[in-house]
Amino acid sequence: MATVAKKRGTTLGRESVREALVGYAFVFLPIASFLIFFMYPLGYAAYISFFDWGALGKIESVGLGNYRELSHDFLFGKALKNTLRYAVIVVPSQMALGLLLAVIVNNALRFRTFFRAAFYFPAIAGSIAITAVATYILSADGLLNALISAITGETYDHSWFGESDTALQSIMALNIWTTSGTMMLFYLASLQSIPTDVYEAAAIDGAGAWRTFWKVTFPLLKPAHFFVAVVSVIGALQVFDQAFFVSGGGGGPNYSTMTIVLYLYNTAIEGARFGYASAIGIVLFAIIATLTLIQRLLFGRAEVA
């Protein structure tokens, strides 16, 4: 159509120039903002990750020095290990719980809107407000210990966030609970796109509900599994707010809540080691970009959403 219009004469040609100019004007601010605050930072961070770069600017070029230093930095190793441990537990738990909740509310239930709202509710509250509530419930004289004491009959006063053997696990439990509602919504969208005749066929073959789920529903959700897994892994690798809150920013006790992003924050803001912090950011970006690209290439974005 556009080529036809050009041949028709100057009025339409001028009109399409006008349309293009208006188009550029309309996208100008968003594109400028993405270039300045996303694309430029990506390039800048990549660039200064090859330098010893302080608060006052460039100190010296170190080549791959920052990356080499990362590989035997004790605290980064600790942060990496904590974050991976966190992801290994949280991702499958979130997926399983999200799927279970989605299957429940996908049934022909009464009050399904209520159930869906209840399951999704923790996901809407802010991370900081909800972590504050968790620190209270999991404190030495909090609700959880009171319940344990009531059941066992012995006084129990373990400080869940305060002891290094349970601090990270408590954050895991907290986030599994808060984000499983979001995972439920993703699974639900996918569940509802499964055509009914598939279930009818299974019913004719005499498959029960349990068998139908594992043999029909579960495999058909494959794109959703992948999508949810990627979203969940990306979220898990970026865990920050909760760790920052319960440790007051330091990643304690005994660095048990030190995560990659918390370490990045401390390196950049407290330590003013901008080059080194950027190297951490680039490593994280490389992991996230790879995962996102794999997911996009295999399944495309719109199939699940």
Partner 1 sequence: MSDIPERELPPVPPVVAAEQLAAGGEVAVGAAPGGIPGQDRSERIKRVVVYVLLFFVSLLFFIPFFWSVTTSLKTLPESVGFNLLPSNPSLRAYREALTTYDFKSYFLNSVFLATGVTIFNLFLSSLGGYAFARLRFPGREVLFFLVLGTLMIPNELRLVPVFQMLIDFPVVHTQLLGTYQGYFIINLVTATSLFLMRQYFLTIPRDYEEAAKLDGAGYFKTYWRVMLPLAGPALAAVTILTFQGTWNDFFWPLIIFLGDESKYTLPLGIFQFRTQFYTQWPELMAASVIAIVPIALIYVFFQRYFVAGVTAAGVKG
Q: Which of 96, 117, 201, 294 binds partner 1 (CB under 8 A)?
A: 117
Q: Does residue 30 touch partner 1 according to CB under 8 A?
A: yes
Q: Which residue has the tokens 């080499």?
A: 68
- Give the nearest distance from C-beta 218 to partner 1 in angstroms: 13
Q: Does residue number 75 form part of the binding site for partner 1 (CB under 8 A)?
A: no
Q: Give the type of residue at 14.
A: R
Nearest CA-CA partner of 269 in 252, 249, 285: 249
Separation between Cα atoms, residue 183 and residue 165, nearest integer Å: 28
Q: Rounded distance, CA 256 to CA 276, Å?
A: 22
Is residue 96 near partner 1 by the rule CB under 8 A?
no
State which residue, 19 or 165, has the beta carbon closest to partner 1. 19
**According to CB under 8 A, which residues from 210 to 249 bind partner 1?**
212, 227, 231-232, 234-235, 238, 240-241, 244-245, 248
Binding positions for partner 1, 254-283, rule CB under 8 A: 261, 264-265, 268-269, 274, 277-278, 280-282
202 near partner 1 (CB under 8 A): yes
DSSP character string of 129-161 = HHHHHHHHHTSTTSHHHHHHHHHHSS-----TT
Q: Is 128 one of the binding residues for partner 1 (CB under 8 A)?
A: yes
Round to whole Å and give the CA distance between 175 and 62: 38
Asked if omega into 253 is within 30° of 0 (cis), the reply is: yes
Q: Contacts with partner 1: how many residues (CB under 8 A)?
A: 115
For partner 1, the closer CB: 44 or 218: 44
